[in-house]
């Protein structure tokens, strides 16, 4: 029999005066040979040698003295140093948009838009993101948009006058944006600023919604006097929302599914102060 781990060297000194079948019995090692009971018993001569209580004993055999019995194990102290280093580059790559697996390669325009975002975005003291509008051409090519926005405003006012409840919800939405500082009043001295764009808006009513039954939609595709709209001058970036099909497949993975609506999510992203005049409303 071999010990499953090394024994104290003092045990080997107990049998220095005897010829042992295995002089290195105190060391754990691989098994050299297996003997069946029919061969083992004839090898034993019956003479035993005891070294005391709770100590190994020896049995004489044709191969020499065989050591057995109890012995306290010896566990050497092992010092292990584990150093785990995470570089700043790895952390930076973890937060990059391209760390999200892409289902299709990005187009050159999508790559340009993503690079522009990475180069120009920042955060304020509260941690909110501040982004620049990704213009793909000079925004000064936009023509006059204020008169179109005024006509659309008169049209929506006439429509809302026939539905007082919808009218109140519309006013409540606008007042809430002002109260939350999601929009600010343009100073009178800047009302005639040439480099600006007025966004027409209209209401979309969803009675089935549990949070926002009336939603105000801003029309960035409205053409100006030059025939160009704000959306025409902006780059189109890659889609960052997950595809609907994997969501439907994973919906049945867990026993309980929870659905929620994130309110005012996109309004938490601030627009840089140099670009806010391109998103005016009346």
Assess whether pLDDT exceeds 70 at residue 40. Answer: yes
- 205 closest CA partner among 165, 162, 234, 176: 165
**Helices in the chain by DSSP H: which ranges?**
10-13, 37-43, 88-95, 108-120, 146-160, 164-179, 244-250
- pLDDT tens, 216-241? 889 999 999 999 999 999 988 888 78
231, 222 in Cβ contact below 8 A?
Answer: no
- 11 closest CA partner among 64, 57, 76, 65: 57
In whole numbers, what is the pLDDT of the chain averaged over residues?
A: 81
Please give the Cα distance from 60 to 168 (Å, whole number). Answer: 105
What's the average model confidence in pLDDT over 186-196? 86
Please give the Cα distance from 138 to 243 (Å, whole number). Answer: 33
Domain ranges of the chain: 9-69, 108-242+256-278
- 170 closest CA partner among 212, 220, 222: 212
Tell me 73's DSSP state: B
Pairing of strands 129-131, 122-123: antiparallel
- The reported pLDDT for the residue numbered 41 is 79
- The reported pLDDT for the residue numbered 179 is 92
Assess whether pLDDT exceeds 70 at residue 110. Answer: yes
What's the average model confidence in pLDDT over 51-67? 77
| 67 vs 203, higher pLDDT | 203
Assess whether pLDDT exceeds 70 at residue 8. Answer: no
- pLDDT tens, 242-279? 788 888 888 888 888 888 777 788 888 899 999 999 99
- The reported pLDDT for the residue numbered 14 is 66
Percent of the chain with pLDDT over 90: 23
Q: What's the distance, CA 197 to chain centroid?
A: 37
pTM: 0.58
Strands (E), the chain: 44-50, 57-61, 66-68, 122-123, 129-131, 201-205, 214-218, 270-271
Other CB atoms within a 10 A radius of the CB of residue 173 amount to 15
């Amino acid at each position: 029999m071999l010990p499953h781990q090394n024994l104290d060297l003092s045990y080997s000194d107990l049998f220095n005066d005897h010829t042992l079948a295995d002089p290195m019995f105190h060391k754990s090692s691989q098994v050299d040979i297996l003997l069946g009971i029919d061969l083992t018993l004839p090898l034993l001569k019956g003479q035993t040698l005891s070294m005391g209580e709770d100590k190994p004993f020896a049995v004489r055999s044709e191969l020499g003295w065989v050591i057995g019995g109890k012995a306290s194990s010896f566990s050497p102290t092992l010092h292990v140093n584990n150093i785990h280093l995470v570089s700043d580059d790895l952390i930076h790559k973890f937060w990059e948009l391209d760390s999200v697996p892409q289902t299709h390669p990005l187009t050159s325009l999508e790559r340009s838009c993503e690079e522009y975002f990475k180069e120009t975005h920042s955060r304020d003291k509260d941690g909110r993101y501040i982004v620049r509008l990704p213009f793909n051409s000079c925004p000064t090519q936009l023509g006059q948009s204020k008169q179109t926005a005024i006509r659309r405003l008169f049209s929506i006012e006439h429509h809302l006058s026939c539905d007082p409840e919808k009218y109140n919800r519309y006013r409540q939405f606008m007042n809430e944006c002002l109260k939350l500082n999601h929009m600010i009043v343009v100073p009178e001295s800047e009302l005639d600023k040439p480099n600006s764009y007025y966004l027409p808006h209209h209401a979309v009513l969803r009675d089935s919604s549990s949070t926002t039954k009336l939603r105000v939609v801003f029309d960035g595709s409205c053409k100006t006097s030059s025939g160009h709209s704000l959306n025409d001058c902006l780059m189109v970036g890659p889609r960052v929302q997950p595809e609907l099909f994997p969501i439907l497949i994973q919906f049945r993975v867990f026993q309980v599914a929870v659905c929620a609506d994130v309110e005012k999510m996109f309004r938490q992203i601030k627009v840089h102060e140099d670009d806010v005049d391109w998103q005016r409303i009346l």
